[in-house]
Amino acid sequence: MMTKLTTVTATTNWKQVMTTNRGTPAKRHKHPASGARILATGISMASVLGLTSAYALAAQHSTSALASDSGALTPEITQPAIPIFNTPVTAPTLPGPATPATTATSATPAITAPTVTPTIKIKTPKKTRSATKSGGSK
Amino acid sequence: MGNTAEVTVVGDTGDGGDFAQRRLTVLEHLWSRFIPTSDISRLNMSRGEPISVHPDTITLVKYLVSAHAFSNGYFDPTLLPTLVDLGYGASRSDASKSSILPANLPSLTEPLSRTLVDDISNVVRLPVGLTFDPGGLGKGLAADIVALELIRRGAIGACVNVGGDLRCVGDGPNDGVWDIDIESPFDASITIAELAVCNGGVATSSTRAKRWSTRRGQFHHVISPATNEPLIESENAPVQVTVIGAEAVWSEILATTILVAGASEGVSLASQSQLGVLVVLNNGEVIPNSHWSEFQR
């Protein structure tokens, strides 16, 4: 099986995204054709907003709490008409165990986990492994 | 969130890396306390008024409220005004960005548990005077969301690491397994543990991260809800806690809880849910719980 490995390192930087929207406003043209284009743009934007609303409705019916696959930004409306606050404010999941490597690799013979608590010694990382790091530098 | 994210995608999804970057940027826009238009900043400025938010923010709010209850109050996401008063008001990745808080923040009259959510119209109402700082919980939840979405888009495996909170799903690049190294809190170039995980979330919280100097000495970002001061770094207190569980979001919640509650009470809470825990004390002692060995290389 061919597999492709992609690693992306990115900083989550708001400024880089927003700078493209801050140009000098273009001078208005009053030619009827421009008006038609503006009208067409208005219809187009309304369509996009309609899709965004549809997404919002669909997302809340999703069975997976972590599955809202959308690039939509926050809706502009800040004052909702009549909210109905009857949703339980509880997390969609509870804490549970991860899957260790020995459990998931079915082709590998079962390995009995050591029953003694391991002694951990501070050591330098191996250079040959491709590992993801979890540390307190966040 | 102001952190560096690292995304690894196994399998040919075409634009998996670009998708992850875009998705993380959207979540940053929604949850950063340093962006005035974010859902979190708008909620923090709402003074008890209902606010429309993105569905992802509804999920975030549910975890923030539940984390406080589950941890018996040790994980407290409402300490932003205290954190700002102590000197952590500006972003560490961009000092020109500051936390958005209302002037003359009214006194808190209702508890966090009185937060109201309408997930039909995606509206949240915070109690008057209450503000949120998603902190590490937001990073863990973002890692969970993006990793699962990468799998739904066709990746064979995905690992999303947001500032040290990471979620691995599917086949890893090393014989189907994800290798994860845990850094020493005293020297990031030193690895104190090597994990092999198939599916799970790993989060590390430390008092050694995000520190700043004040006239009262060095402060760090982990605040005690009991004292409204940074945790005291005594010799036998935890300096770093790593938790491995099914999801990064709960691993982060439990890591911070253990840091605040102390090793004895905090590890007991995590062990009840069969989460692996590695605690490093200020004196250098490294203490795993019984579940940790299941993941040790």
Contact B57 A74 (CB under 8 A): yes
Contact B121 A84 (CB under 8 A): yes
Contact A102 B294 (CB under 8 A): yes
Cβ–Cβ under 8 Å, residues A98 and B178: no
Contact A7 B6 (CB under 8 A): yes
The 8-class DSSP code of residue B98 comes to: B
Report phi then psi at A6, rounded to 5: -120, 125
Q: Region A90-114: what's the mean pLDDT? A: 68
Q: Region A102-125: what's the mean pLDDT? A: 39
| CB atoms closer than 10 angstroms to residue A24 | 5
Within 8 A of B248 by CB-CB distance, chain A residues are none
Q: Give the whole-angstrom CA distance, residue B120 versus residue A61.
A: 9
- For residue B99, the model assigns a pLDDT of 77
- For residue A78, the model assigns a pLDDT of 54
**Number of residues assigned to chain A:** 138
- For residue B212, the model assigns a pLDDT of 73
Of A117, A78, A121, give the one whose Cα is nearest residue B284. A121
**Highest-scoring range by mean pLDDT, A30-34, A74-78, B170-174, B216-220:** B170-174
B21: enclosing H helix or E strand: helix B16-31
Residue A48 pLDDT exceeds 70: no
**E strands of chain B, at which residues?**
4-10, 51-52, 116-118, 123-125, 157-162, 165-170, 178-183, 191-206, 211-214, 217-220, 223-224, 229-230, 238-245, 276-281, 286-288
- For residue A70, the model assigns a pLDDT of 47
What mean pLDDT value characterizes chain A?
51
**Highest-scoring range by mean pLDDT, A29-33, A56-60, B91-95, B128-132:** B128-132
More confident site: A110 or B254: B254
Query: Would an 8 Å CB–CB cutoff place B238 in contact with chain A?
Result: no
- For residue B66, the model assigns a pLDDT of 97
Tokens for A48?
């996009």
| B residues 143..172 contacting A (CB < 8 A) | 144-145, 148-149, 152-153, 156, 159, 161-166, 168, 171
Task: Look up residue B44 and give its amino acid.
Answer: N
Query: Would an 8 Å CB–CB cutoff place A18 in contact with chain B?
Result: no
At B197, is the secondary structure helix, strand, or coil?
strand
More confident site: A58 or B244: B244
Low-confidence stretches of chain B (pLDDT beneath 70):
1-2, 12, 92
Neighbour-count burial of A107, counting CB atoms closer than 10 A to its CB (0-12 exposed, 13-18 middle, 19+ buried): exposed
More confident site: A68 or B213: B213
- For residue A103, the model assigns a pLDDT of 58
pLDDT digits (tens, 9 = 90+) for B237-254: 999 999 999 999 999 999
Query: Would an 8 Å CB–CB cutoff place B48 in contact with chain A?
Result: no
Minimum distance, in Å, between the CA of residue A34 and any CA atom of chain B? 32
- For residue A102, the model assigns a pLDDT of 74
